Each structure stands twice: as C-alpha cells, then as structure tokens.
Amino acid sequence: MGETLTLPVLPLDDEVVLPGMVVPVGLSDTEARGAIEAARNSTGLGRGPGIRSEEKARVLLVPRLADRGLAAIGTLAVIEQLGQMPGGGPGAVFRGVSRVRIVSGTTGPSATLWVEGAVIPETGQGARAAELAREYKSLIIATLQTRGAWQVVDMVQQLDDPSAIADRAGYASYLTAEQKLTLLETADLVQRLELAIGWTRDHLAELDVAESIRKDVTEGMEKQQKEFLLRQQLAAVRKELSELTGDGDGTQPDDYRGRVEAADLPEKVREAALKEVGKLERTSDASPETGWIRTWLDTILDMPWNERTEDAYDIAGARRILDEDHTGLDDVKDRIIEYLAVRKRRSDRGLGVIGGRRSGAVLALVGPPGVGKTSLGESVARAMGREFVRVALGGIRDEAEIRGHRRTYVGALPGRIVRAIREAGTMNPVVLLDEVDKIGSDYRGDPAAALLEVLDPAQNHTFRDHYLEVDLDLSDVVFLATANVLEQIPEPLLDRMELVTLDGYTEDEKVAIARDHLLPRQLSKAGLSAEEVAVEDDALRLIAAEYTREAGVRSLERSIARVLRKVAAAEALTPGAIPVAVGVANLREYLGRPRFTPETSLAAGSRRTAVPGVATGLAVTGAGGDVLFIEASLADPETGAAGVTLTGQLGDVMKESAQIALSYLRSHGGELDLPVSELKDRGVHVHVPAGAVPKDGPSAGVTMTTALASLLSGRPVRSDVAMTGEVSLTGRVLPIGGVKQKLLAAHRAGLSTVLIPQRNEPDLDDVPAEVLAKLDVHPVSDVREVLSLALEPATVTAAAAAA
C-alpha cells in the first residue's frame, strides 16, 4: 500500500470516476456540499508528493451503487472549479488523481464522513501493457469514429501513457457502473486493459450487428418502395398500350410471352408454356401462384430442348483417350468404341431418329470400390466429345428425387435427371448414375422403380417429370450406372441395363496405374517433382502385393501418398534429404512392415494350412475377390459331444454346404480311405474365421469337404492350393459365380494352384492372360479329384510326423 491519507468522502450515486477523468458533479444535496466545504477547510492535511495540488482542495469520490452501498475503493480527486451546473444548481469540476483504498472511518473537523485511506500503487507497467494500450487506443478511436466525434479522436491520439489510456474507459457510455467499478478496483494495468479491450470489442460487435440490421431494413424498405413505384408505372404503361392497340396482349409481366415465343422449344412444350403465360397474365402479383408459375417458366426456358453436341467420330482418337485415362477395363472401352462406330455408320448413311427414339446407351458398371467406375464416366464423355454430369444416388429414398415434385407443393423442384440435363446444357450428355445399388425405399416411394422409365430405351424418349409435366427426350443420353454389389440392384432395373463387370486389376496393371497416374498425381499434391523422388517399379509392386490387398487402387494411392509425405517431412527437418530413390530395400523405412504376407512365403510351420483340417477357399465380397480359410476339428470322444457345430456367422446356404460335405464323407469314407467311423462318437466343429463378417453361398462346399477330409486323414492341405465350387451329395463339383474375381484374389494372395468346377472352364476366357500364366488352374468335376490335388501325399505327411 502507498501513503495513508485522511479525506472527506463524497459519495457518487451510480457513478464511477477513474483517475485522470475530469467530470462535473452536482452539489444540490447537503451531503455533497458538506464534503466540498470540509475539503476546502482542511486544505493542508495529509500532504504528500505527487498526490495533490498545493492550492486545490482534495476529496475522496466513492461510488455508491444501489445494490452494494459504498465501495471499498474510491478515487482521490482535486476540486478544479466551483460554479453552477447547466440547470442552475451549484456544482464542482473534479479531476481524478489516484486510487485509494478505505482503511477505516475517522473523525474530522466537520460532520461530513471522514475516512483514512491508503493510496493504491499501480502495477503491471511494461512492454505487455504498452502493447495492450496501443490496441485499446485503436479500439477507442474506432468507437469514436462510428459516432463522428472527431475532436475527441484527436485528443485520444495524443495520449501515450498506458495508464491514462486504460482509465479513459471511465468515459465509455456503453460500460455499466458495475464494469467501471471493476476497473477502479483493478490496480494491475495489464488486467485493466484486458478487461477494457474485451468489453469494447463486444460493444463494437454489437454496433456492427445493429448497423447491419439497420442497413438491411433500410434497403428492404427502399426496394419495396422502388418495386411499388415501378409496378405502378408498368400498370399505367400497359393501360395506355391496351387503349392504343385495342387488345390486352401488350407487354406482359417480365415479357414471358416474348421469351417463350423467341425460344427454340418443341411444339407441345411451347403450347404448355404459353398456357402458363396466360395464367400469369390473369393472376394478381400478390397471389403466391405467380411465383410458382414464374419458377416453372424459368425452368422450362433454361432447358436445352434442342441443344446437342456433335459426337467425336474419330474412333482411334477416342480409344487413345480411353487408354490414356485408364489402364485395363477393356470391356468398357470396347463397348464405348462399338457404340461410337455404330453411331458413325448410321450418320454416314443418313439414318436419323427411328420412331422418336435416338441411339443412346445404358451401361451398368459393376465392380468393387476403387477400380475406376466413377472416373471412367468423365473419360467416356471426353472420348465422345460430350458434356459430363454426375448424379449421386447413394442413400436417396424419395421417388420425387428422380421424377420431381408436383407443382402443388411449396418449394417444388424438378427431379435429379432434369436438373442434370439443365446443368449439362445439352440433350445428349453422359450422365453417371453413381452408386445405383445403394438406393433405398420407404413410404415416400421407391426411387429404383422411378429409374425404370429413365433407363428403358423403349420408353425414355417420352420421360415425364412430375414438375415439368411435359415430355422430355432422354433417348440420346448415354447413361452409365455404377454399383458395387450386383445382387442389390433390383432385377427389373438390371434388366434394362447392359451389364459390364469390372473385377479388379492385376498386379501388373496396378503397377502401371501407380506409375502412370497415381504417382504423378500424388507428387503434385506433395509439392514434389519426379526429379526429386523416384519410386521404382519393384517398390510399387511390393506395395500392391504386401502393403495393400484390394481389387482397386485406393489403398495403393494412399500408401504412395504416405511415402511422399514422409519424404517431404524428411526434407523439411533435414535439408538436403532429396533427391530420394524409393526401392524395395528402403520401402520399410516409409511404410513399416508389410501388412499382408503371402502364405507361400511363410515358413512351412507358420502357414495356416500346416495342420490337418484347414483348407483355403475363395470368395467374392463387395470389395472384390478374397481368400477364405475354413477350419475343422473333432471333439474328444470322452466328452460325448456328437453332431455338427458351425461358427463364423454363416448363412443358411453355407450351413447346408457343411452338412452336405459331412454327409458325403460319411457315405464315401471307405472309398476315400477315411476313418469316418469316428464321426459317430465325436462331434465335428467347422469354423470360418473373421466371425464378425456375415458369409453365405454354396461355393465353399469343396473347401469344407477338403478341410474335413484333411482332418480325418491327417494329411494337411497344400499351402499353395485354393479352391472354389459347390459340392453335391454324390460328390459332383458344381459351377459357381465370380471365377475371375476369385482367381485375381488367389493371384494377389500369392497362391499358385487353383481348383475350379469343370463347368466354369469357359469363364477362364475372362481372366487376364498374365494372371493365368502365373496360376496352375485345374478344372475338376468330382471331389476325388479335388482331394488328390489338394492334400499332401501320405508319404510326405508321415515323414513330417517322424521328423
């Protein structure tokens, strides 16, 4: 605390004076006049350097708030001038000097309240206070400028003392008495400035909001007044024009009639538009129907009814574009080239529209994620020289999303097909219907059912949107629908599309895609160049084989991006780290250990099929083909647990396959030299790992049979063999689906021998030649052939047991 003073008290009701402030105070009540008189009579008491003027009386100004009474801290002030207030009453001008904390009451030479107080020294001076003072000074100036108080702005700009700047908050009308008292009680300069800055910022934000609201209201009123005036003038012009011409068909609202007549519209569309224009002319501007009609007319006029782009008939050039953009996917490329070739021939022979239908195309691209289905749409549009529009259908449940809402609803809009055509600006774009297998349905209808007309070449030349209510010709549009799971597409919808299956990429194709497309793209995103980072093909092959296991290339691209990010980080931390060559030897430094190790590369004892009762199968999932292990075990005869236990979240069809496999082995055990008599007293447990994933289908029949035969014979299944096929009670191996995807999965997993049903042999034509060259594929027709090829020889098993 500072020096102790004995001072008369002048209470200030709901008013706070800070040091440095010069304020007038009315002296109309006895208490105030007594304090002034006591201060003048006591001049000379409690003198101290820097505290008061030698000639001027001193008084302690103490705030007295309604809910708090007298404050514990007041402001030592000197009386600068005595006189009259503007209202005629007596008054005095005070100048605040310093903060004083009241220590105790005392007696003085008069009846006025006297106190002993200690001067509170100010703390917090320094660089931080100076910085905050500059910030608060700028805020004060900004506040004053909004009020136009330019003279006060000049005075504030001359202030340099941080303490004086902080206490200028006492003049702020937007601060409450409580807030000002808080500033008076805060001796630390930094804290006081932070409080003042925060409150001033809040006030400026409120001013901005208020100004924005005032401006919006003013602009709205001006707009309404202007619109009213223009409408009155327009009505007068119409009236004069009608009297001169003798009819009521002069210039119409917004001249929709003229726009419709000037537009290049089909005849029936023009008739419907003119009918709506007539309604608009007869409808009052105050009617809500006016807005609905105008929105409908604007939509009609925005549609490219007779706009079409010319197809690029350079067939070789189109094929070159497709090959540049995508590696592989020959089936889709061939289909697009065939389409263009037919279109070119029809154009050369002058064959136009037949029966109102043009020669569009509807293709369904079905395959696992990441194989390029969506990006293929843009490539197709570029090759054909057409506009491209993508329509995302995943998750939509409302039939109106396809057909549009009826105009009777508030906020009605056309469907996504119409909006796509309008966005393309042409009647023959390439429209990609993305994720058509993820369409839902509920009480609002089935969007898949609404797509039946859109994708039916026999009907879509007269497609009728609920909003437009006029025929729209979609027969020249090339529709490309994409899906991951074929079974989730409704059968009637699938029947209207030409199915093209994309089963995934081979390892060589992945390396080519990574080298030619993914690596350049990720280099650009990482801010690197090919001269700074070189990734060898062997490293890309290792990433595709052992760091990712997928049908597409998304995980491969993410792995490449991770490598390049680590290179960029290394250069940032240690300049001079580039150029870098990423190869097989140093790949682990960037990606860590491989996540997927082929079974064939493991040590013999570490392979999953190293023990009897485990066989390798092949399956098809939504992410492409995959390897599936099936395990079988026998219960201890002493437990007495007979029967069959099936685990691994198997579907009904897969459970039946296990029952068939067990029944076949029981009935043919003698022929196969299997001790099936043990099955009478010992329970059989068949498990398919990855129990959290649902599994179903008959194609695991031969795998289950092989696993059980391996368990009974004690002969392990060869670790390099995978198999697929349905099995019958007579031991026949029946055909299954997804052969191409399953062989690609076996190739990715490093397996070398695959057993497939004999009747699936024609499906091998769809498998890439480089994959077939690395696989030893055996078409089989009987379980005996499967067991002879899949099980290790008995001599090898005996030798392994002896060892």
Active site residue ranges: 699, 742
Residue 532 structure tokens: 């700074």
Contact status, residue 101 vs residue 122, Cβ threshold 8 Å: no
- Give the other-Cβ count within 10 Å of 85's Cβ: 14
H or E element at residue 37: helix 30-41
H or E element at residue 318: helix 315-325
Q: Which residue in 459, 357, 445, 359 sits closest to 403, CA to CA? A: 445
Residue 503 structure tokens: 């089963």
For the chain, what is the largest distance between any 2 Cα atoms, rounded to a whole number of angstroms?
132
Cα torsion 39, 44, 46, 47: sign: positive
Contact status, residue 662 vs residue 783, Cβ threshold 8 Å: no
State whether residue 444 is helix, strand or coil. coil
H or E element at residue 482: strand 478-483
Pairing of strands 463-464, 614-621: unpaired
Pairing of strands 90-106, 22-26: antiparallel
Length of the chain: 803
Contact status, residue 726 vs residue 757, Cβ threshold 8 Å: yes
Contact status, residue 408 vs residue 292, Cβ threshold 8 Å: no
- Give, to the nearest 10 degrees, the angle between helix 189-245 and helix 177-185: 150
- H-assigned helices in 115-250: 127-147, 150-157, 162-167, 177-185, 189-245
Q: Which residue in 467, 479, 355, 470 sits closest to 424, CA to CA? A: 479
Residue 591 structure tokens: 């990606």
Q: Which residue(s) pair with 480 in the sheet? A: 363, 432
Residue 706 structure tokens: 């092989």
3-state secondary structure 750-790: CCCEEEEEHHHHHHHHHCCHHHHHHCEEEEECEHHHHHHHH
Angle at 28 between CA 24 and CA 34, to 5 degrees: 90
Q: How far apart are CA 625 and CA 744, in angstroms?
A: 7
Strands (E), 700-747: 721-723, 726-727, 733-734
Q: How far apart are CA 776 and CA 755, in angstroms?
A: 9
